[in-house]
Amino acid sequence: ERLGYGIGSQKIWLNCKNFLSKKFYKSFPIEKSFEFLKINNIFLDSVEPKLKAIEFTNNKIKKKYIKHHKPWIVIGFGSTDIHRTWRMSNFINLIKILDKKKKCSFFLIGSPNEGNNAERIISKCKDLGSNIINACFTIEKTISLISQSNFYVGNDTGSSNLALALGIKTFIIHGGTPPYTKTVYRNFYPKLYNSKFLISILPSGGVLRDPHLKGMDSIPRKDGMDLIKPIDVSKVVFQNWRKINNI
């Protein structure tokens, strides 16, 4: 079967006629997908994604890292879009700043093929010893690790979405793309669950991309991500973390 929203000439190429209602054409992309699944008899509990880690995998992760002291911080250093990617040197400096403020365990998360980049970061953070870990795992292990961590800080990428869906405090560095709440989709953004855990870190001048544009095209890294400095990210992280944990 060929399924689709059925917007415009797309109808010609689809042999399943359960098309999306016109009233949802301009909806937030997640809401649009939610409604499309519903008319095709695929029912989700909520428009906001929620994940639960597998208990067996949780136990393995817990046992493996039981000697690594809390808080556990997951660092999402990778991204498929260079314009949404904070430079490696920034992550190195951020980790060092956070470690000086409070001893933590840092887990560098990404896809398995990003492991070499994780090792490059680790090589520049030798003073941390075993408290910085290459955690470029399969997605099942990544989900489990995030679910047991205290917070995520990193790029606007798949791992940040996982953290939000797991209900983990999530600090996203938004330089290349603005958060949805600062775009034309802001009125459609789900506000019941995921947004409670999201803290967006923006350039000091605010969102640089025109918030009225549709789509989520990135702006050049030098004009966005490079304007966000490690010391500024660390301040946002600790201001929020201190409120919750009195540190």
Q: What is the CATH number of the domain that holds 94?
A: 3.40.50.2000
Examine the domain organization and report whether 25 and 3 are in the same domain: yes
Q: What would the mean pLDDT of 65-91 be, rounded to a whole number? A: 94
CA within 13 Å, CB half, 111 = 6
pLDDT of residue 14: 77
Tally the residues of the chain.
247
pLDDT of residue 209: 61
Examine the domain organization and report whether 235 and 114 are in the same domain: yes
Top pLDDT among 189 and 151 is at 151
Examine the domain organization and report whether 221 and 99 are in the same domain: yes
DSSP 181: G
pTM for this model (two decimals): 0.84
On the question of pLDDT at 245 being above 80, the answer is no
Examine the domain organization and report whether 11 and 80 are in the same domain: no
On the question of pLDDT at 84 being above 60, the answer is yes
Range of the domain at 29: 1-47
Examine the domain organization and report whether 36 and 60 are in the same domain: no
pLDDT of residue 137: 97
Per-residue pLDDT band at 75 (split at 50, 70, 90): very high
Q: How many domains does the chain have?
A: 2
Q: What would the mean pLDDT of 194-217 be, rounded to a whole number? A: 73
| C-alpha span between 148 and 71 (Å, rounded) | 10
Examine the domain organization and report whether 22 and 81 are in the same domain: no
pLDDT of residue 28: 73
| C-alpha span between 159 and 137 (Å, rounded) | 11
Chain segment 129-185, per-residue pLDDT in tens: 999 999 999 999 999 999 999 999 999 999 999 999 999 999 999 988 878 777 766
Strand bridging mode 72-76 / 105-109: parallel
CB atoms within 10 A of CB 174: 24
Chain segment 152-161, per-residue pLDDT in tens: 999 999 999 9
| C-alpha span between 5 and 26 (Å, rounded) | 12
| C-alpha span between 86 and 73 (Å, rounded) | 17
Q: What would the mean pLDDT of 89-109 be, rounded to a whole number? A: 96
Examine the domain organization and report whether 146 and 232 are in the same domain: yes
Examine the domain organization and report whether 95 and 15 are in the same domain: no
Examine the domain organization and report whether 36 and 111 are in the same domain: no
Per-residue pLDDT band at 44 (split at 50, 70, 90): confident
On the question of pLDDT at 246 being above 60, the answer is no
Examine the domain organization and report whether 41 and 139 are in the same domain: no
pLDDT of residue 3: 77
Examine the domain organization and report whether 125 and 20 are in the same domain: no
Domain boundary among 10, 27, 47: 47
pLDDT of residue 229: 96
pLDDT of residue 244: 64
Top pLDDT among 232 and 184 is at 232
Give phi and psi for 132, each to the nearest 5.
-125, 125
Average pLDDT over the chain, rounded to an integer: 87
Q: Please, what sign has the CA dihedral across residues 185, 189, 194, 198? A: positive
